[in-house]
Amino acid sequence: MPWNWEHKNWPNFIYETETLANYEKEFLHKAGILHGSLKHISAEDQDTLKVDLISDEAYKTSEIEGELLNRDSLQSSIRKYFGLKTDNRRVSPAEQGISEMMVDLYKNYHIPLDRTQLCAWHEMLTNGRRDLLDIGRYRTHEDPMQVVSGALHNPKVHYEAPPSSRVKTEMERFIKWFNQSGEAGKNHLEPLTRAGVAHLYFESIHPFEDGNGRIGRAISEKALSQSLNRPTLIAISHAIESQKKDYYAALQRNSTGLEINNWLEYFCALVLRAQDHTQSRIDFLIEKGKFYQRFDDVLNERQKKAIERIFREGISGFKGGLSAENYITITRTTASTATRDLQKLVELGAFTRTGERKGTRYYLNINHPSVKK
């Protein structure tokens, strides 16, 4: 069976816009709510959200490719690129590179796509690499560019991209299509449709020796940001990583033909889930602001320190809740003082309590699905 790029009508993908209309409508509706929600959190929390979401996307987009980075180092690097206060920790070349790329995507989403930007992203991603022939440029090797799995002696080929000799021409056509399909382009496409086609189209060409997945996901985010005329901060890679097998299966199902309804419906649902995750994080910060308005003036320094530490965990929180032992470790106080502090927090209504004796656990009393009641 031929690959999609081997069809005579390539790259004229076929899909039904009617089946995507409800997805497009829901995307714009959720985008409006998300943007409006940002007005209800402080400037400091907006900076925190921006850094957290971008660093999480940098971590997850790398994790999808099997590369595990340090979250704290990513945050430190991203804060530095935004001119925010950092802890000046040492950051590896890989962490610095993906951070630089994600910040560039955030700041320059509105700039038309071109070869210079794509190659710059690739150079950032491959910062410190010594195992690649082509860094910061399209691939040139003569061997087939294949996506494979299994043993070396018996590999399973999931996909084979166009030969390197075709990449320059294919990418010129892709870049022209991308820019002409934007909001002001003569071949305008709806946001989710454009982002979904762009991702599959780019991945089909697979123009770089490595890093195609991360750049392809960045292109999708660029497309969505351009459609809204603002950075989306949508957690696409977070949504993909949580169901990674489905992502690769969807790409493979749509690698041999030009009819891509299946892919676009998958992609639309993926983006809507990603929006929900971002909205949940914003709602958490709104609840954080309300919490401090209610209790900040009546908390002692130990209690404030512990609560700040819990909020720093974000919507994932302390697994299993906060124990008295956790409180003692965080505040460096005695067991008797910890007992009094925690009891007071429950009496104030700042904490809820579950369990008994050593099984007693404490939770922030905020209105958010992530917090146990």
Distance, CA of 260 to CA of 366 (rounded, Å): 43
Number of H helices, E strands in the chain: 14, 4
pLDDT tens, position by position, for the chain (373 residues)?
Answer: 899 999 999 999 999 999 999 999 999 999 999 999 999 999 999 999 999 999 999 999 999 999 999 999 999 999 999 999 998 899 999 999 999 999 999 999 999 999 999 999 999 999 999 999 999 999 999 999 999 887 777 888 999 999 999 999 999 999 999 999 998 889 999 999 999 999 999 999 999 999 999 999 999 999 999 999 999 989 999 999 999 999 999 999 999 999 999 999 999 999 999 999 999 999 999 999 999 999 999 999 999 999 999 998 888 777 889 999 999 999 999 999 999 999 999 999 999 999 999 999 999 999 998 776 5
Distance, CA of 183 to CA of 126 (rounded, Å): 31
- The domain spans of the chain are 4-282, 299-364
Token digits of residue 151: 């043993």
Q: Are 90 and 72 in contact (CB under 8 A)?
A: no
Give yes or no on whether 4-282 and 299-364 have one common fold: no
Token digits of residue 135: 């860094």
Judge: domain 4-282, CATH 1.10.3290.10: yes
Class for the domain spanning 299-364: mainly alpha
* Pick from 47, 53, 117: nearest CA to 82: 47
What global pTM score does this model have?
A: 0.92
